[in-house]
Amino acid sequence: MTLSELLPLDKEHRAVLLQAARYGFAGFVITVLFSISYWAVTDLLGVDPMISLTLVFLVFSGISYFAHGAFSFRGHGSRDQQHIRATRFLLVNIIGFLLNQFFVWMLVKQLGGPTWWPIIPFIFVTPWVTFALHRRWVYG
């Protein structure tokens, strides 16, 4: 059985579905490692949650750039003008970073919740926002 038979969609919709699946897999792994790192730096090293998120963001932005470019969006869009793609990628990641900082600020700083609370929207909200922006603007 071929992929076309398994996914009776037109070529563009099948491509989006496969990219979403690859992005979901890579993004899930990256997000889980990101979240564990945020928690470890915050709770085990005693770093302020917002500073911890900043440090972890810096490390995982590089990992994410290479993983999504080589795996999630492989074969999608052109691969010329890497400086433009890298700049756009950084801007999308900054949007995700600011969204995650908001979750930390609201859930930990304002509501006094435990430092793990923001991990829930890190995993279930931010990836959807960044996928849409990555697909359309960075790798499109």
pLDDT tens-digit readout, 7-30: 567 777 877 787 778 878 888 888
Q: What is the pLDDT of residue 28?
A: 87
Q: How far apart are CA 127 and CA 92, in angstroms?
A: 11
Dmax over Cα atoms in the chain, in whole Å?
Answer: 54
What residues have CB less than 8 Å from 67, skipping those under 6 apart? Answer: 26, 30
Q: What is the pLDDT of residue 42?
A: 97
Whether 100 and 61 have beta carbons less than 8 Å apart is answered as no
Q: What is the pLDDT of residue 134?
A: 77
Q: What is the pLDDT of residue 56?
A: 96
Q: What is the pLDDT of residue 120?
A: 95
* Residues of the chain where predicted confidence (pLDDT) is lower than 70: 1-8, 68-80, 139-140
Q: What is the pLDDT of residue 26?
A: 83
Q: How far apart are CA 92 and CA 73, in angstroms?
A: 15
